[in-house]
Chain A
Amino acid sequence: MKKKLPEQKLKKLFSILCLLLIVHLNALAQTHRITGRVTADDNSPLIGVTVRIKGGTVGVPTDVKGTYYINAKVGDVLVFSYVSYQTKEVTVGDNPTINVTLSNSSSNLNEVVVIGYGTSKRGNLATSVGSISSKDIAIAQPTTFDQALQGRVAGVMVQTSSGQPGGAISVLVRGLGTFGNASPLYVIDGVIVPPGNQSSTGGVFLGNNPITDNPLSTINPSDIASIDVLKDAAAIAIYGSQGSAGVVIITTKRGKVGPPKINFDGYYGVQKVTKQIPMLDLQQYAEFLDTKAAIQGGVILPGFANPEYLGAGTNWENELFKSSGTYSANLSVSGGDARTTYLISGNYFNQDGIIIGSNFKRESFKVSLDNKTNDWLRLGTNLTISGINENVNSSQYDVIDAAYNLTPDIATKNPDGSISFPVGFQGSYNPNPIAAAALNTNQIERLQIFGNIYADILFTKDLTLHNELTEWFDYGNVNQFFPSLTINTSQTQSSAYVNSANNKSYTFRNQLTYNHTLPNDFNVNVMAAHEATAGVYTYLSGGRTNFVANDPQGLSLGSTTSATNSGGTSNNANESYLGRASLNYQGKYLLQASVRDDGNSNFAAGHRWVTTYGLAGAWDAGKENFLKNDIADQIKFRASYGLTNNANIPQYQYGAAIALQTVGLGEGAQPENIANPLLQWETSKEVNLGLDLGFLKDRIQFTVDAFLRKTNNLLQTDPLPLYSGDTGTGYLGAPTVNVGSIQNKGLEFSLNTRNISGTHFTWSTTITATLLNTKILSLVSNDAFITGIIDNGAVTATRSAVGGDIGEFYGYIAEGVYKNGADLANSAKPAGVAVAPNGTWVGDVKYKDLNHDGVIDQNDQTYLGSPTPKVQYGINNTFTYGNFDMTVFFNGNYGNKILNYELVKHGDPNGGANYFSSVLNYARLGLVNPNGSATDPNNVYVINANTSVPAIRTSGDPNTAISSNDIESGSYLRLKNLQIGYKLPVAWLNKWKVSSLRVYVSSTNLFTITKYTGLDPEVGDPLISSKGGGAEVTGIDYGHYPNPRFFTFGFNVGL
């Protein structure tokens, strides 16, 4: 490796550390043996409390009776610490027995926060880090862990992309600051999962859409001990380039010293769709079509002549949605002695979707082992193996949209039991979603292994070398089969496709930490590390058509002449040098600096290496003598600044690859994209100001953070016009370029209060809120913008322009309909279209003439709101009364807009397929003089003049443009979780040798208050599909898989 100054700097730093190491190799002084017992407030023994000498690293645990033994000198300070208890310090005197009582603490100041390559107490943080614990996760009962972050961590916005069990979720830390992938970096027990990393089954085309599954759905949420989110640049900097969009660190549970603990958690739940959109039933549909035929001069369909005799017909939503069950069982065994601790857990999870043809199963197994081999060596491993199996029929075929497209006169099945199709329908795909879900196979399976082994060498009590190898394997199979079936007169061909992929990566990490406390409680912590990651992805896929029969379905049973296959491999690598120094003077003054040097193979030589850094400082005024009082425990001011870098682009965009393929003339070579050898890192600079307040022995804790982030050199696919040839089949890929800058600013609040803290009754509240503002500062030019195009390139829905947000909706402002001839004559109309029943006519939507030029054209379009919530919030209340406990968690969005694209398609009386009931409010045209002309505009008026739904036209449909009619408020307030639990009294349980048993009932998404008329206001990021996807087209409801309402019953047993 040619470079690098930073490396030399680190080498220098390292030499200094070596010297320090030698200096501090000192012998131990004369010691006594101290013993004692550690108990809780209720005098029960506390097992596994760490007892250590202040300033030292070696601690001993308490045993099952709460007893400990430790060697200490007179004058040493013993520190007793235990998770979720207040840490206590006792100075060793002459008495060799020291008994201690620890109080349960809801204070989070002593909470251990994972900050990346180390941990810190929350009280000692100068950066902005949000955390949730296993308790929060348990309440949320998430299918995948990321759901549990919603509304619980200020600054983190979570929206489900699909309510499909185990489906993709968008997690945004401090808003969208890039056009590229803005998902955070996930670090799971040291295994780095880069942002936007697809699972081994991701991106494979199934049906119409590629799979966008959740690569982390294999992780069992109940294995997680804590999730910490690094938010500001100074916190992120230690992860360098990969963490520019925030870092989510997941720490799984590990064993604690103590006798074996066996826990079993199980729940069973039922889920149901919360809402259906009223559609025309058969009678209404027939009446509507008859009216249409009368206006358009068509014939009345057979059987529709007398709608009053018709029944309700098929309600396709009823056919599609079902109530379904979820079962989760989790068994863990943990424990250990002073030398070795262990945890073994197994989990089975099975969730059926609320839409036919969707389900999710997960089996996982985890083992973690930590061993204190001797006084200078620690070894350990953590291994999680999990497998998932998903049926994704529903999300791959836009089934909700397909159901809306079917009319109530079509039966779900023919009288003879065969599948029915619309009359006259021909084609090779199955338009009946119910039949498609039952007949097609669309299965994905993944086996994932996360693992690490580590060896820590303790050179002295202050100097530790941590060596770690992490491995991540992800093996995926996609299996699809479409049977041959007869659709009216045509026979479709059976076809099958399989894909098998594996994704492997390893990281080798060496990390040297020097932690020394000088006199006066002045702590110095210096860490330097090297990290190298390499990954390889390989795949092999094949397909065939024309199977002997629809069953069996093995690939080799298809016709050999139709056999296809493909395969490939790709590599990535990342190498980094990093370091961090933290100074802590009595918890009063905190200073931290981190630096990381990254090389990334996505850039050409010369642009590869980049330095990321962060600086943070804090002052806890509450610890100053002049402010010390009984009311304020903490008055901490924090400030940080950092520079982060982003390389989230497809590889080899600095050059251009050639794709070889079979073409009409044999072998053909296609250049894939336009190369940009000047491609460089996207950079973000962020300032964060924070204030942490704690009052009344931490009964009230308040944190506020304000941040300002500016991202320059935005990496994006050059937004080129269609005439650059960069879209459609056989396109030449646009280059990836560094263009533009974005500013994100925001405020994050979190408030924890213990409102009532009685012996029998407690009540505590947590409120988090995130306020965000995103602004595009520059693009190619000041008047440049990026258009968001949806629905197979047909519809321009959004525009991202300088001064605005990313992906703002763009279109016309609708002002009702043209009410009569005078209104038509006096209002602006589209240019070049005659005033006539088949041109512009009374009852058409009247768009606002924004530029007052008397003509409605593209210049009258404007911004119609942003899909990004202005505020996302969560309010959690926890109550306990005796053995009862209750948690009530609300969350919501405020200030975002949704483009209800289903309304565009099914709310237009001149559109096709089936209609929402709202269509019945179409503008009804009347004649002023009933004997006069129906083609004289002055003789025509709208009877229901205030409607916004256009009239049925004689022909054509000029009312399809995106307008304010289709944009709805996305604000909502949702009772996300409600859980009531009861702990059975210990006296009852002793008979069965059960140490604890809690039963609970819980509900998720019990109710939602919203004005949104679609199925679910939580629309989020659309899945990438033929309809369009990406940062510039979010918040669009294409028949989004809604979040279901859950009711569960569960219990936790401890043995």
Chain B
Amino acid sequence: MKQSKKILILSFLTAIIFSSCKKDFLNKGIPQDALTTATFYQTAAELKMATAFLYSKPWFDYNYPFSYDIGELQSGNIVGYIYSGSTSNDFTNFDIPSNSSDTKYGWSSLFNVIANSNVTMLNIEQVAPASLGAAKTSAIGEARFMRGIAYFQLVQIFGPVPLIADNNTLAFNPNLRANVIPDVYRFIINDLRYAAANLPLTNDPGRVTQWSAKGLLAKVYLTRAGISGTRAQADLDSAKFFATDVAENSGLNLMANYADVFLTKNNNNPECLFGLQWTVDPSAQYGNNDERQTFIEGDGTIAGDGGSWGGLRISADLAKLYSASDLRRKATFMQNGDTYPELISTAHPTGYTMTDTTSLYIKKYVTGGPLANNGANITAQHNNIPTYLLRLSDVYLVLAEATLGNSASTTDPTALLYFNKVHVRAGLPAVTSLDFQTIFTERRLELAGEIQFWFDIKRWHDYNPAAANAFVMAQHRNMASYATGDANYNDVLPVVTGITDNYSDTYTNTQGSKNNWTMQYPAADVTGDPLLTLPPVPYYK
């Protein structure tokens, strides 16, 4: 080969070697199938997408089973069934292991809401153009509402918790100490006051409004009132102020029929001030669905959607509390002989009739399968009824309780007016005077199955621990049975099998010694963050 030819080839190949790369070669690391936080949040529609996420997936692990563990099992409204495993019994018996995975999931889920709310509000503040105006502040208000309500759950369940306002900072400076309870409440109130000032009066169905924030503020103030051991009048007044504002100025009213509130066709009816939002869209990722029905229904053929875990059961303690004329009873649980014409499934073409004489099934949030819900794509663990965390009737009863305050009884006309709206709708005669027990029982019956009752007992315990303890000790925390013709519900004696052992008719709990009025932090964070179990510190200097 000629030398010149070689040199020619050589030069040519040299050119290839040193010029092969295009300029964008290494920018291939920027995803081409995803948006990035640096460029999102540009339009009002994009801000709505950003906040829509906060109503769904981050709450998933809280939604079930943890919220039922706390709100229903620990409060004695609901008990486990023999095949639903021993975790239910742990909460019924206040015997929760430090490494409970339910606790871990509940804790991390609420903090997921906080983390996502934080990053969303910060991104919106930094990236969204100021020209979006109210859309921008309203979106931040939604995120702050979410953070506020997540902290409200946390402080009621765990007591002192670390306050996190910026997860970017946390990521590079982890290991926080818990903050004292009064500061947690102050943090929550700051968030909700911002939300109340910036959220619109009305919003898309399911999204929070100013009234959601004010209703929740009322409840937060009512709860904060007692944390020092005696109820602070200033907080009771604030609770009454915000509850009255919602009751009188929101223009919202209770639905005529209690049972209708929990039908999927009435999802996000005006009575519902805040609910976690779920979807049955087949393309939705797991975690944006409501999985409760599959776990709580007493009979897998009710939904007929291919999955059932044996369900939970109504406790004798709750069942015995309903008067025969209370319309809420059938909407809350099923007993032998009840028929629900709307619960149509292949197995029950004319509606479901309950025939089990050995236990009581949960009805609230058991909405059936596709045939009962206009063909919706309801499958095992996939339902779309919102998890209502704040209803108008709740706010009405907060109004009554705040008005009663430290008095033994009240005949305040506003309090009576709104209390009776709830009471009379249930098919019961109006009352003329309110005392603590009346309101406490009314809240339990109105909100049974809505993961609220434990917080009511806890709120009571804050300023009257002896009474709350005695109340829990006396509860019939076991299954109830009902056969046609029975005069009342019967306690079910323990069904001991190889699988479960914790049923006990004469319940004696040990919550005094185990300090279960606030739960232990999950073991993973106790070992992971040695500072967490040190005495809590103030957040506000």
Contacts and interface: CB of A to CB of B under 8 A. Distances in A.
Interface of A: 1, 7, 11, 14, 18, 21-22, 25, 289, 292-293, 296-299, 301, 374-376, 407, 424-428, 457, 459, 465, 467, 484, 489-493, 508, 510, 530, 532, 534, 543, 545-546, 561-566, 568-573, 575, 599-603, 608, 651-652, 655-672, 674-675, 718-732, 734-735, 737, 780, 783-784, 787, 789, 791-796, 799, 832-834, 839, 858, 861, 912, 955-956, 960-961
Most chain B beta carbons < 10 A, residue from A292, A428, A670, A729: A729
A169 to B, nearest CB: 29
B360 interface: no
Given A571-B32, A795-B99, A722 B111 contact: yes
B300 A490 contact: yes
A600 B526 CA distance: 38
Contacts of A569: 32-33
Interface string B491-506: 0001011110110000
Given A292-B498, A493-B307, A666 B522 contact: no
A301 B498 CA distance: 8
B278 A651 contact: no
A737 B305 contact: no
20 contacts: A22-B3, A490-B306, A510-B16, A532-B20, A564-B282, A573-B26, A599-B25, A660-B49, A663-B57, A664-B277, A670-B53, A670-B116, A671-B123, A674-B167, A721-B525, A725-B108, A729-B61, A795-B99, A834-B513, A955-B95
B101 A729 contact: no
B83 A665 contact: no
A375 B167 contact: no
A858 B25 CA distance: 52
A714 to B, nearest CB: 15
Interface in B86-140: 86, 95, 97, 99-101, 104-105, 107-109, 111-116, 119-120, 123
Given A570-B32, A658-B34, A730 B502 contact: no
Interface stretch (B36-44, B194-202, B451-459): B36-44
A666 B52 contact: yes
Given A510-B16, A665-B207, A725-B116, 9 more contacts: A292-B498, A296-B501, A493-B307, A664-B56, A665-B52, A665-B204, A725-B167, A728-B60, A730-B57
A607 B333 CA distance: 62
A534 B55 contact: no
B528 A787 contact: yes
B36 A793 contact: no
B80 interface: no
Contact of A573 (B7, B17, B28, B174): B28
B132 to A, nearest CB: 15
Interface string B172-195: 101110000000000000000000
B226 interface: no
B99 A669 contact: no
A777 to B, nearest CB: 20
Nearest to B170: A724
Given A657-B34, A665-B52, A793-B104, A489 B496 contact: no
B30 A732 contact: no
Nearest to A783: B530
A655 B32 contact: no
A492 B307 contact: yes
A545 B161 CA distance: 42
Of A570, A651, A670, chain B has the most CB atoms within 10 Å of the CB of A670
B101 A793 contact: yes
Nearest to B175: A721
B35 A297 contact: no
A407 to B, nearest CB: 8
A663 B31 contact: no
B29 interface: yes
Given A651-B29, A732-B112, A664 B174 contact: no
Contacts, number: 370
Contacts of A608: 26
A729 B204 contact: no
B284 A661 contact: yes
Contact of B119 (A655, A721, A732, A833): A732
Contacts of B438: none
B60 A729 contact: yes
Nearest to A455: B13
B6 A459 contact: yes
A724 B111 contact: yes
A912 B50 CA distance: 44
A960 B98 CA distance: 11
* Interface size range of chain B in the complex: 35 or more
Contacts of B174: 718, 720-721, 724, 780
B502 A955 contact: yes
Contact of A428 (B20, B37, B306, B525): B306
Contacts of A508: 20
Interface stretch (B68-76, B316-324, B372-380, B439-447): B372-380
Given A1-B21, A490-B306, A858-B526, A664 B384 contact: yes
Contact of A732 (B38, B167, B281, B381): B167
Nearest to A528: B17
A729 B58 contact: yes
A783 B310 CA distance: 46
A426 B34 contact: no
A95 B279 CA distance: 92
A663 B52 contact: yes
B386 interface: yes
Contacts of B386: 664
A663 B56 contact: yes
Nearest to A490: B300
Given A484-B306, A794-B101, A669 B35 contact: yes
A960 B90 CA distance: 15
B510 interface: yes
B524 interface: yes
Interface string B285-310: 11110000010000011001111111
A861 B36 CA distance: 43
A796 B206 CA distance: 39
Contacts of A667: 49, 52
Contacts of B113: 725, 730
A655 B10 contact: no
Contacts of B20: 508, 530, 532
A656 B284 contact: no
Nearest to B310: A426
B377 A562 contact: yes
Contact of B309 (A407, A426, A573, A722): A426
A832 B514 contact: yes
Contacts of A783: 530
B206 A545 contact: no
Contacts of B116: 670-671, 725, 730, 732
B170 A570 contact: no
B82 interface: yes
Contacts of B532: 721
* Residue with the highest number of chain A CB atoms closer than 10 Å, among B23, B111, B377: B111
B232 interface: no
A561 B375 contact: yes
Given A729-B109, A730-B109, A858 B527 contact: yes
B341 to A, nearest CB: 23
Contact of B162 (A14, A459, A723, A735): A723
B494 to A, nearest CB: 8
Given A664-B206, A721-B529, A655 B108 contact: no
Interface string B8-25: 011001101110110101
B202 to A, nearest CB: 15
A663 B6 contact: no
Interface string B508-541: 0010011100000011111111101000000000
Given A566-B283, A796-B523, A725 B115 contact: yes
A655 B287 contact: no
B524 A787 contact: yes
Q: Which 5 A-B pairs have the closest CB atoms?
A: A664-B277, A725-B115, A298-B496, A601-B29, A493-B306
